[in-house]
Chains A and B, each alone.
Chain A
Amino acid sequence: MPTNTINGRSFEVDEEGFFTDRDEWSEDLAKDLAALIGIELDEEHLAPLRFMRQDAAVTGVTPTLRRLQTVGGFDIKSLFALYPGKPAKKMSWLAGLRKPVGCV
């Protein structure tokens, strides 16, 4: 497994760059990663990430956008606004989770 290092923090990733061990994640690390994609992680950005980590810790699977809506109570439109382009992938990556595999 390749290892990524940013600002002195290291973590293992798969061949695409997603975390392989979610315990190597921290909020400070997420903030550094977010800077790479032009996002400043404020509380509004962090809320879905925290939910995703809690949910993944229980189910073992990265939650989909639909699950963020139905279980987490997040508004899909706002998630697209917070993480434009590929929201599910950006959030999974910033939450230190594996690439999402669910279809809906």
Chain B
Amino acid sequence: MTITEQPVTALPGGAGVRAPIPEGFIMPDFGDRMPGPGSPQTGTSAEGGTTAYTGPRKMAFICSKGNLDMAYPAFIMGNAALGEGIEVHIFFTFWGLDIINTKLNHKLKFTMAGNTAMHMNELGRLRPGWENLSLPQAMGNLPGMTAFATTMMKKQLEELEIPDIPDFLDLMQASGAHMYACKLSFDMAKMIEADLHPGVEGVISAADFVEIAEGAQVIFI
């Protein structure tokens, strides 16, 4: 997109003065020069006349599952959002609490049971088309299958250079994600604060999170 020349202004957050953009110059939208979807907007909602959210763009994730494959979506999307300069908040609740429990988060598991999308690419080598076969559900209940499926998934993630869960939490913390444990789940699981990942800012109630998530796009996982 072409960005038209604008007066020299100082960036928020103490950054330096921006030089004017030459005419016809094409440069990526870094979100801090032109008003876009990420910029503050003012206005009132159609009914009631309440003031609309005016802050920066936010994304809020609610992680409610403790399976290995359910821990990644919030981290991958949240990490991408942080890289785009979007404020990220993650609320870990119910089984999702395992993700931020340092005694458990290195041994999250993936199970075939109940997952009808299970197929193995390797089977295609035995016979073309078999890579798309759905594996029988009973297989997932055999002893050792969960450990096997977990090892397979971890190997595939490693091949793509995706960090494991403890490393990913460190990365999210360093990138500025705000993370919280759910008070109710925390009490239910009889967890102790010492076991929480240091990136977790607090143990908060659902109502606290609702307040924090004002104006955010909320994603429930």
- Knowing A2-B26, A38-B17, A93-B28 are in contact, say whether A80-B11 is a contact too (CB < 8 A): no
- Interface positions, chain B 1-37, Cβ under 8 Å from A, are 1, 10-11, 13, 15-19, 21-22, 24-33
Q: How far is the CA of A87 from the CA of B79 in the complex (A)?
A: 12
Whether, in the assembled complex, B147 has its beta carbon less than 8 Å from a beta carbon of chain A, the answer is no
Whether, in the assembled complex, B132 has its beta carbon less than 8 Å from a beta carbon of chain A, the answer is no
Q: How far is the CA of A93 from the CA of B1 in the complex (A)?
A: 15
Question: Which single member of A32, A38, A80 contacts B16 (CB below 8 Å)?
Answer: A38
The CB with the most chain B CB atoms within 10 A, among A13, A32, A38, is that of: A38
Whether, in the assembled complex, B176 has its beta carbon less than 8 Å from a beta carbon of chain A, the answer is yes
Please give, as numbers and ranges, the residues of chain B lying within 8 Å of A16 by CB-CB distance: 1, 26, 28-29
* B residues at A contact (CB < 8 Å): 1, 10-11, 13, 15-19, 21-22, 24-33, 76, 79-80, 82-85, 160-163, 171, 174-176
Given contacts A39-B16, A40-B16, A104-B162, 14 further A-B contacts (CB under 8 A): A2-B26, A5-B24, A15-B1, A16-B1, A16-B28, A17-B25, A32-B19, A36-B27, A65-B175, A76-B174, A85-B85, A88-B83, A93-B27, A104-B79
List 26 A-B residue pairs with CB atoms under 8 Å apart, sorted by A's residue number: A4-B27, A5-B24, A15-B1, A15-B26, A17-B1, A17-B26, A18-B28, A35-B19, A36-B25, A39-B15, A65-B83, A65-B175, A66-B171, A76-B171, A76-B174, A77-B174, A80-B174, A84-B11, A84-B85, A85-B32, A86-B83, A86-B85, A89-B28, A90-B30, A104-B161, A104-B163
* A residues at B contact (CB < 8 Å): 2, 4-6, 13, 15-18, 32-33, 35-40, 65-67, 69-70, 75-77, 80, 84-90, 93, 99, 103-104
